[in-house]
Amino acid sequence: LTEQLRDFDAVIATGSNNSARYFEAYFGKYPNIIRKNRNAIAVLAGEESAEELHELGKDIFQYFGLGCRNVSKIYVPRGYDFDPLLEALHEYREIVLHNKYKNNFDYNYAFYLLNKEDFKANGCILLREDASLQSRIASLHYEYYDKPEQVGREVESRQEDIQCIVAREGFLKRAVLPFGKAQQPELWDYADGVDTMQFLLKL
């Protein structure tokens, strides 16, 4: 370990929102890319097919939901029927054969029960109404909306916390990814929208 960094031209750092504050305090005067926590969201119209919901499962479960492009929260229309979604996500039930994932599932299940929180479960994931974009491992947050424009305003106000959006093309007035494609970025889909190579070339 180095007690103090010296003789550098720029900084690229990745960490939590908390560590980012320290990075900015120490390295803010240098050219920098400081990445914080981000999550992906999905916006459902309520008319998705079983295939689309199954594809959404990839966005939720790949890498055990730990990536910044994993969907950790969904927006659903008020009155949404969760049964088709829970059924589609149950097709990924083998994920609970991974011991550490199953431990998180059991812990969160017990946590919600003991706190008498309202939640939905299908044996491999827990759905809980929560405004936060970040959800626990083996959990998925959801929030109701009345009009798509409401979600658009919400996304606009939290764009610094959102890595990507999964939805049907044309449902929102912004760029979205098809279901199942959150973890398949193109070469030009830069993390946090920052082209690292261009940043380095301009130093």
pLDDT digits (tens, 9 = 90+) for 169-184: 999 988 899 999 999 9
Task: Report yes or no on whether pTM surpasses 0.75.
Answer: yes
Residue 201 burial (C-beta neighbours within 10 Å; 0-12, 13-18, 19+): exposed
CATH 3.40.309.10 given to domain 38-193: yes
Q: Cα dihedral sign for 15, 129, 174, 84?
A: positive
Full DSSP string of 61-82? HGGGG-STTSEEEEEEETT---
Q: Which helix (H) or strand (E) holds 34?
A: strand 32-35
Spans of all domains in the chain? 1-36, 38-193
pLDDT (0 to 100) of residue 129: 98
Share of the chain above pLDDT 90, in %: 84
Using pLDDT thresholds of 50, 70 and 90, give the confidence band for residue 3.
Answer: confident
